Structure 1
């Protein structure tokens, strides 16, 4: 159902940006997007130095968790508010909040302050990816959008590799404070570029904020994310705190669904979920990232523990995965511009990713070497790079302009949520497999520093083979589960309709199925 205001908005004139405006705004968006992506991983290599200065090692994981929680929970809100108040005010708020959190994090005097300030930084970062995708959707017609969205996907892949390297270099050359302070001048330049060139290219929708819906949605999202991030690590899955968070998620989620049914202008319109393409797109992207992050989390563990590789080299060995994503994302944008079709590339990509995952599971279980594993990781990245940028374009093409913001942000939210579920689920599967293979108890492996494990090859010979076998088969199981999850995404995308890409913004969105 479309509201009268939505119909009026859809018929309002669309402002056509100039090529120079597109170039300047895109440079500014890519800059802040890179900062947000890097900051998700840049802290990892600086954590030992942070702990030595601030203490609080018991709460160390929250330095990363607070950022991820805040950024994921706020994504849909940015999308809806940008539909109501415009892209420019919201991107200003997102960048300013991110830079404020960066400045405060750099000046933190203890671990509690750093965790709170990282959450503030995450609140700002939650708007960077969806708003960048939304603004590009406003400025560039769907038929020309592939190249820009491909660059965004490539940047995210590259930054996930570059982040830890930059974190180590900055910490060694300057101090850990500068991994946050370096954001300030770069972010300020990006804000000026965006501020000088960005205009409101699509008509605004009704200026009304669903405060209660926003509160309920945020409470449900944060509660669910706390269950996923803390369950099985900080607390057992059957512990009272996890049960409390789960109950809170269920109650607030139920109240939110009941609320949006009666709210005339909800923060998350239910009519989005009447669109078959949108529902399948969210499902496919959630499943894809569930399988990817769930399994790829254990690539470094596999290299270090089972294959005896050093921590620094294990990071390099995971590079082909991200290189594949970056390469195919860039090439895919050019192919999309030429063909005008997005679904064939997605089906091909998920088929390649499923086969690559299956080979990785087989390789881990049968002690194959790097000559098999590395090409498989590259193939996995190449396949996934054909899926992610196209999905954003497909959703934006299928939704009317007055829902482009909230639809794009909700798609990004489901992508992040799927990744978190994959990480939590794969950790649980790994633990279960290790206990099963070890007679009910997980094998004891010495930890060497933050996030590093002693290779099994360094253990006593009489237990070396047994530990190698247990971890090899347990990690192979997580790869096998990842194969099944990506295969489900492949089956789901077969059901997704493909609408012709519009060649200009004035064309009406395809009718929802």
Structure 2
């Protein structure tokens, strides 16, 4: 460049500006980002909705199909299969492209939904819920990975906040919508409702999602997935059947646990030697990733385990209709929505996130402990206050952990790190529903055995209507036992959540990256 041109470039002349090389306009993060984000929110809503929409319908389903002892498996089957496939979808997205994998997951999810609505007995329903979960697991992790692809970490807080709000919305709108559909149509419509929403999501994604990432050749770790599936299934079977279906002295029960532990050892061995493991064990050397996985596991366990049975409690003890039970969970939705959006915006502004998991787990612990102090005569207003506090706490934790993980790992590991953190929260949910279901069933059975006259025979499969048609004296004993068993469950959940609160203090306060 000549001296003259150098001098001209230093002068603040508008004429000179015209001679400068044009500055390239900043490229948009993704051409139709708003439309894409709307479609991804709809996909997230679909996936999260089906983790909770069944809860208000469970009493009605049991009344029609029977199988009270298998009640928790209607929820657990979905959580279990969706958990197992989470890490596989992360690799499939890299290998075949996120768009086609997301579309395939939606189609599989919709097929499972249609078949769930057609189920004629409890076994068929549980199997079809498992099929639905195979698609549902992909919906969550691929949408999170897409956001990780197109949005830099520093700007990701507000997007993650919206995802957290949608997830929280589904946590409460699920039971609300489920109750409305059960009351005015049929429990089968809680599955059929997915079909128009899923088709809409398919059309929007097909039209606006133009992925720009190159496909990456991967070796899929099918052996690792098989070991993980066997381990989780056996552990969940052990926790859900112990003392409920099989006595604790049963050899079959302990053989199931032993087989699960052997499969778990096999999983770790496979992950150490696989060329591309499902979860690279080196990721656990990253302090943020390890803590986020542990905290996510505990939060998932407490949240899904405790909240699955709340609509049942409202219908049985508080005599609410299914739609009223859904409406009564609105304070929790408000809490999650407000705290998710607010924390996301604040994180994007200040570029730090550590304070939010600390405050969130503290609030959630206090809320769970307060729920454990309720009894059947406590005014319903106290329940509203406590679940609103719980929502405020959870909204500050769930999506922030994903953000922390994506910010701490190398860009090439975003997919597998996101799926790993999501995997641990889902594992916590699967085990939590099974463990708390077993605790609840054991507590209820023990209390009824001690309180009811020895000659009292309760129906084997008893829905909400069956409870309210019991003789007055028996119904009073049953309702007290039911409430006490549930409140004990919340006290245990509070203790578990305190452990997550302790772990959040070990997280580092890392500045969010401004770019990938």
Residue of structure 2 equivalent to 1:389: 399
1:336-378 deviations in whole A, cap 9, x for unaligned?
A: 111211111221122222222333333449x643343321221
After TM superposition, the structure 1 = structure 2 runs for residues 50-449 of structure 1, keeping only pairs within 5 Å, are 62-106=73-117, 113-167=124-178, 169-170=180-181, 178-300=189-311, 302-303=313-314, 312-364=323-375, 368-430=378-440, 449=462
Deviates more, 1:202-211 or 1:133-142: 202-211
Partner residue, 2:467: 454
- For the 8 Å contact 1:41–1:160, the answer to whether it is kept is yes
Over the aligned positions, Cα root-mean-square deviation in angstroms equals 3.6
Contact (CA 8 Å) 2:87, 2:416: kept in 1 or not? yes
Q: Report Cα offsets for 1:176-227 as digits up to 9, x if no partner.
A: 5554444334323322322333344445544222232222222223333333
Distance 1:387 1:114, change over 3 A: closer
Ranges in structure 2 where 5+ consecutive residues have no aligned partner: 1-25
Q: Distance in 2 between matches of 1:287 and 1:322?
A: 20
Task: Confirm or deny: 8 A CA contact 2:183 2:323 kept in the other structure.
Answer: no
Structure 1 pair 410–162 and aligned structure 2 pair: CA distance change class (3 A): same
Relative to 1, partners in 2 of residues 1:205 and 1:16: Cα closer, same or farther, differing over 3 Å? farther
Tell me, in whole angstroms, the C-alpha distance in 1 between the residues paired with 2:31 and 2:219.
33
Please say if residues 83 and 404 of structure 1, whose CA atoms lie closer than 8 Å, have aligned partners that are also in contact. no
- SS at 2:414 equivalent: helix
Shift of 1:471: 5.1
Give the stretch that moved more between structures: 200-209 or 319-328.
200-209
Contact 1:27/1:190 (<8 A) preserved: no
Structure 1 stretches lacking a partner, 5+ long: 1-14, 506-513
Moved more, 105-114 or 332-341: 105-114
Q: Evaluate the alpha carbon distance shift between residue 119 and residue 302 of structure 1 in structure 2; reply closer, same or farther with a 3 A threshold.
A: closer
Once residues 123 and 486 of structure 2 are traced to their aligned partners in structure 1, the CA distance between those partners, rounded to angstroms, is: 34
Contact 2:72 2:434 in 1 (8 A): no
Cα distance in 1, alignment partners of residues 438 and 116 from structure 2: 32
Task: Report the CA distance between 1:28 and its aligned residue.
Answer: 1.6
Q: Is the 8 A contact 2:368 2:390 kept in 1?
A: yes
Shift of 1:385: 0.7
How far apart in 2 are the matches of 1:173 and 1:364? 30
For the 8 Å contact 2:91–2:218, the answer to whether it is kept is: no
TM-score, scaled to structure 1: 0.82
Q: 1:340 to 1:445 in 2, by over 3 A?
A: farther
How much has 1:396 moved relative to structure 2?
A: 0.7
Answer with 73-82 or 444-453: which moved more. 444-453
TM-superposed deviation, 1:148: 1.7
Q: Does structure 1 conserve the Cα–Cα contact (< 8 Å) formed by 2:72 and 2:433?
A: no
Contact 1:431 1:442 in 2 (8 A): no
Displacement of 1:154 in angstroms is 1.9
Measure the CA separation in 1 of the matches of 2:59 and 2:449: 34
Alignment of 1:472-483 (within 5 A): 473-483=484-494
Deviation string 1:157-189 (CA, Å, 9 cap, x unpaired) is 222333344345556666655544443343233
- 2-structure distance, mates of 1:274, 1:301: 42
Between the aligned partners of 2:73 and 2:441, the Cα distance in structure 1 is 21
Which structure 2 residues correspond to residues 8-47 of structure 1 after superposition, within 5 A?
A: 17-18=28-29, 20-43=31-54
Deviation at 1:142, TM superposition (A): 1.3
CA pair 446-327 structure 1, distance change in 2 beyond 3 A: farther
Of residues 157-166 and 243-252 in structure 1, the stretch that sits farther from structure 2 once superposed is: 157-166
| 1:496 shift after superposition | 1.3
1:271-297 CA distances to partner (integer Å, 9 max, x unpaired)? 111111111111111112222333334
1:380: Cα distance to partner? 1.6
Q: CA 1:449–1:92 in 2, change beyond 3 Å: closer, same or farther?
A: same
